[in-house]
Structure 1
Amino acid sequence: MKRHRRAAPPSDSADVPLPGMARRFAQFVAKTLAIADMEIRKLRHDPTELATRAIQPALWLLIFGQVMSRARVIETVDMGYLDFLTPGILAQSVLFIAIFNGISIIWERDLGIVHKFLASPTPRAALVLGKALGGGARALVQAMVVIALGAMLGVHMRFDPLALAGLVLFVVLGAAVFSSFSLIIACLVKTRERFMGVGQLLTMPLFFASNAIYPTAMMPRALQVVAHLNPLSYQVDALRLLLLPGYDAVPHLGLAHDLVVLTVFLVMMVIVSARLYPHIAR
């Protein structure tokens, strides 16, 4: 008589398929990272862009920061004004890079790349989030330039591993917020000329209506309301808490609060930009 072999019991290894929700999430993350990798590779082809963008934050620290430190017209409690300013200029450089990130999809539309993306099974949210994270990688390079310049100017900063990890998180998160906002603008205006005009129109109001160069307490009441609605204020607050040893004594919002607010902003921006993304091809 033939002997029947028992079937081997199912293995607990990676051969077992993931549940549907987990598998879809893993695919979403993989596609998001693939898009982000494409954006980072563009940076290697044109490194001069970051070099030219480093000029503006350098001028703010070297000229504005030095002059205002000597004038002492802005009260910053127990720290020097240049110390107070440096995280604000770091956030400004992130904003100025990220807010123009959306022009890339206008170029991609003209080259026919957007139509290929739309025909692919990649989720729209993965497309826009990947581009936003790519903008975060660009901002990290800029952040290193600003921090190095601040250190050369004698700014007192902490460089312990936890502070640096938090710095990376909030630079990438803030850049992703403004990059996805930039994608919304690009999907609405659809041309390079109008996009550049709107981007230049928005950058300075976002910068000045934040706590980047002066404390929120110094602002008029109406401007304080605007500053609390401005995601840049939360990024600046987090960067100061992470970088400046003496900022704990200054009234602040708290890292957890900053993280939650920026994450909510990012989710909203990604949802809106994902809905608008197909419009760029029309």
Structure 2
Amino acid sequence: MSARLDAPPAASVEPVRRSPPGLVAARVAAMCLVELQKLRHDRAELLTRAVQPALWLLIFGQVFTGLRAIPTGNVPYLDFLAPGILAQSALFIAIFYGIQIIWERDAGVLAKLLVTPTPRVALVTGKAFAAGVRALVQALVVLVLAALLGVGLTTNPVNMLAMGAVVVLGSAFFCCLSITIAGLVLSRDRLMGIGQAITMPLFFASNALYPVDLMPGWLKAVDYANPLGYEVDALRGLLIGTPAHLALDFGVLVVAAGVMIGIAAALLGRLAR
């Protein structure tokens, strides 16, 4: 009887605390805001990153439009190319985002973030959406250049908002892919090498430069598994009005980004060891 009286009641056991969704969302927004503050000191980098898509549109797009070597139906090749180059520029920004994570680890910032109450998923999601907003700034540069070259872009505000969502989702996926690779290789040099090795294959194994109908069977299979292909398909449908599978494109991008955020969050602690 005395043992029973001395035992603490079951109600005194403290339940496991879980962060409510609203708190997680607030922390995601805070992390995203911190990342976006860096844009004020990064304007020169954004301008230099705009050089490559400008060259694709000015040289590659203009030349192949005149040659008519790639059949795109009633759509001028430059119009067909512009959404693909927009997606490419977002990819190039996001795919090297893991280098920043490694830099934060070396500077001791990552270890301090991981001991805060902020969930790891919130940390990764904040960085993913910050990469998406960086990509939106880059996309604005590409859109302005495309408009100056005479590309027939939509002026529908709903389509433009949907375009922004597509760019953010695609960038979030590739940003978290980069963080995942960083969590596996743990080295800045290795991440740079892998990033450079997969960027161009991802680009060329998509419908960014040519229609899917022109691809051989094996390349079509790769394109169906490549999130960049769904991003380009959605951007073309929204920006220049070509037939697109918008529901499928959005669904694939949302699922792919969500899965990759979870994987990147699971590997984040490995970076800080």
Q: Match of 2:53? A: 57
Q: Aligned residue for 1:226?
A: 222
Q: In structure 1, what is the equivalent of residue 238 of structure 2?
A: 242
Unaligned runs of 5+ in 2: 1-16
Map of 1:13 onto structure 2: none
Are 1:173 and 2:169 an aligned pair? yes
How far 1:102 moved relative to its partner?
A: 1.2
How much is the aligned-residue C-alpha RMSD, in angstroms? 1.2
Q: TM-score, normalising length from structure 2?
A: 0.92
Structure 1 CA distance, aligned partners of 2:149 and 2:86? Answer: 14
Q: Which position in structure 1 is the counterpart of 2:195?
A: 199
Map residues 24-35 of structure 1 onto 2, 5 A cutoff.
24-35=20-31
1:148 aligns with 2:161: no
Q: State the 4+ residue runs in structure 1 displaced beyond 2 angstroms.
A: none
Partner of 2:256: 265
Q: CA–CA distance in 2 between the matches of 1:235 and 1:273?
A: 21
Partner AA of 1:169 in structure 2: A
Task: Output one character per residue of 1:122-181: Cα deviation in whole Å (capped at 9) or x when no partner.
Answer: 111111111000000100000000000000000001111111111111111111111111
Post-superposition offset of 1:121: 1.0
Distance 1:281 1:41 in 2: 24
Q: Which TM-score applies when normalising by structure 1?
A: 0.89
Give 5+ residue unaligned stretches, structure 1. 1-19
CA shift, 1:255, in A, is 1.0
* Partner SS for 1:73: coil
SS class of match (2:224)? helix
1: CA distance, partners of 2:254 / 2:162:
14
| Match 1:215 to one of 211, 217, 237 | 211
Distance in 2 between the 1:24 and 1:152 partners?
47
Q: Shift of residue 51 of structure 1? A: 0.7
Superposition deviation, residue 276 in structure 1: 0.3
Tell me the alpha carbon deviations over residues 223-276 of structure 1, each in whole angstroms, 9 at most, x when there is no partner. 00000000000000110010003x13xxx3x11111100011011101111110
SS in 2 for 1:144: helix
